[in-house]
A and B are shown apart, each in its own frame.
Chain A
């Protein structure tokens, strides 16, 4: 990790993971029900997450966070000890507490004051579950034993005999016995004896194995619970035996006493586990705390998968360099082709191998950036809770395909649009409970989030089982806002897509939740900026579904290499439905210089790419090839290009970083000859056409007006 992030940063990173584990645990608890056998494990996991956050927060003096976590933890502990049952009410409170905890963590991280009112409300509800004595107990962090009550009373020093024999996995997980001993030494007087009898002869020595055992004698006033806490995270990774010796007699000097720091030297060798275990693209960081936390009995070690935290910059640098490698490979291929070698030349085979290797490396590197959508979905479940609280509706969230992996940037940039859509789904999509009952539905609405990979794209769907879109109202609103002419005849899907027009606000009355003037057009823009598409389908009375289709990665795309008026360009294959070599009889003129082509009975407008990009041709326009592209909100357009040369994967290079946005162009790429080719954005290209239309002095038909609004 470059520039060693501060411990504080690491704490907050860990907090994120812990919060994820917390949410997951709560969801698991809800799913299994309070009485299920495994629920104790789950409660423990949740408890541990809260406890760890509290511990860290204490170290950084984040008092608000500590106080809240403490109360939360105390209530959880009651559930754990069986004196409270996690019924539906308590579960809801737990969820809210989890949200609140996340808020506090965020507030602490950004160093802004937290919403004390909200925290106070949840806090006081939590305190209702505590007896008086718990509620008034001051929140001293050290006093938090795993068992309540036992700790405070003991004041006379006890001596504990601790036998600690680490297993190999302890080192593999990067634990360091010395640190544990240091922690113990802080509690009282510690004597350490190493048992070196297990060390084999030098030739049989495996530096990654664990050979040492230790016997520790600790004289302390602290409780045994605290001792267990120190070993909390390694308990499953070692053989641990803590016994309380009756007398506080001073321990005899053990014969084989070894200087502590030396002990640390040996395990150090093992700190980096076998590298073959590392490059697992699954970022299982989220599961790690849960896995390590969920133990009550000593199980056979199934420690967390080893992960590696890496500075994102490093990964991005690597990705860039690999991009260069791909370009370089393409250049070499081209150069060698130009040499016109005999076809049997070995170099061709080697070149092919090089190409495959480069692709492999690229895929591997991309996988580093891929992350499961789970955290995003978990955030959405929080949004659903907040939104249903605010609107007085009841809603549950069902997620599918949590483990679907998407590029990290996509996840980050999807958070806002998703939040908006989920809020909308609860606020506008779902009916009020009584309306639902009247319609014969479960009063509790369902918001369904799903993610899946399909043919090189990521599909994300947000659906509700509400009333469906009210098309009459949408059309009326659009007419009232002058977005469509009053006499417009639109199909159902055209009406649905009106939602995406800028300046379209859905609700009649602006509720305090959605409808803050941010329309679905913002969602659409955000998704489009990621190279994706969003669409709606809705069934009256059954609900609506918003589908987002995104490219797997933002770094490469599959494209056609085309030429337009002597310039080489790339157009994403994903957006092309069909290519057509037009016959003269299929082309029809409309107006002064508009053309349409009839495709199986439908008339599709022809868009001349060169003209729309403002490129002047030197000669007459060739007949060219038409690329049919889907253009939301309304069907198809045919892009006229001069020729298609090739289909290939190209590395996306941003134009914006050094220059700025250019309408109709999404990015650039570097071709095999080292030349830059522009990557076209078909939809924007078509809209450019529409934007230019009114100046032609023709009264634009309905659809064009629509698109014009959309494109400007």
Chain B
């Protein structure tokens, strides 16, 4: 399991390890995940809803015999439900032995980034958001948020269920 990089550490360790990130948009914002955490990217298909779950848990789907939960990433970050659109995709990712799917609006590109270019998450108010984002990358005009998958999974949704 790739425990991705920790930007605070990369500052004093000798620089320039190149990591590849898959960037995508959710709730109108740009996010990215380290490529080794991603198992596959699938087209959106209807899922089986789970009862007694918060809004960001869309349900479960069958991934070649495994039952995996699908989260709405935008809802997870409090950006409202992702509207249905045929460009929507599910990013299947693995963290801590769990396989999950994240519904996002669209996948954009693969970005090679030197660890030195990852800036620490700016000091924002929301504790939950800060822990779910482990750094930001600036790419041209846009700021891309690096998702801390483990933190996202540990966040309330599981608890609220």
Contacts and interface: CB of A to CB of B under 8 A. Distances in A.
Interface string A625-665: 00000000000000000000000000001110111111111
B65 A324 contact: yes
A676 interface: yes
Contacts of B65: 320, 323-324, 327, 653, 670
A123 interface: no
A668 interface: yes
A323 B66 CA distance: 11
Contact of B68 (A324, A658, A678): A658
Interface string A665-687: 10010100011111000000000
A625 to B, nearest CB: 20
Interface in B34-83: 47-53, 57, 59-62, 64-69
B158 A615 contact: no
Contact of B48 (A567, A660, A664): A567
Nearest to A669: B67
A162 interface: no
Contacts, number: 70
B161 A670 contact: no
A678 B52 CA distance: 13
B119 interface: no
A658 B48 contact: no
A658 B62 contact: no
A614 interface: yes
A178 interface: no
B2 to A, nearest CB: 18
A657 B48 contact: no
A125 to B, nearest CB: 50
A678 B51 CA distance: 10
B98 interface: yes
Contacts of B67: 653-655, 658-659, 668, 670, 676
A613 interface: yes
Nearest to A609: B51
A674 B62 contact: yes
Nearest to B159: A660
A670 B100 contact: no
Contact of A662 (B47, B53, B99, B100): B53
A270 B16 CA distance: 59
Interface of A: 320, 323-324, 327, 567, 613-615, 653-655, 657-665, 668, 670, 674-678
Given A677-B48, A678-B51, 5 more contacts: A327-B65, A567-B49, A654-B67, A659-B50, A676-B61
20 contacts: A323-B65, A324-B64, A327-B65, A615-B51, A653-B65, A653-B67, A655-B50, A655-B60, A658-B68, A658-B69, A659-B67, A659-B158, A659-B161, A662-B50, A662-B53, A662-B161, A674-B62, A675-B62, A676-B59, A678-B50
The 7 A-B residue pairs with the shortest CB-CB distance in the complex, in nearest-first order? A613-B51, A659-B69, A676-B48, A324-B65, A653-B67, A668-B67, A658-B98
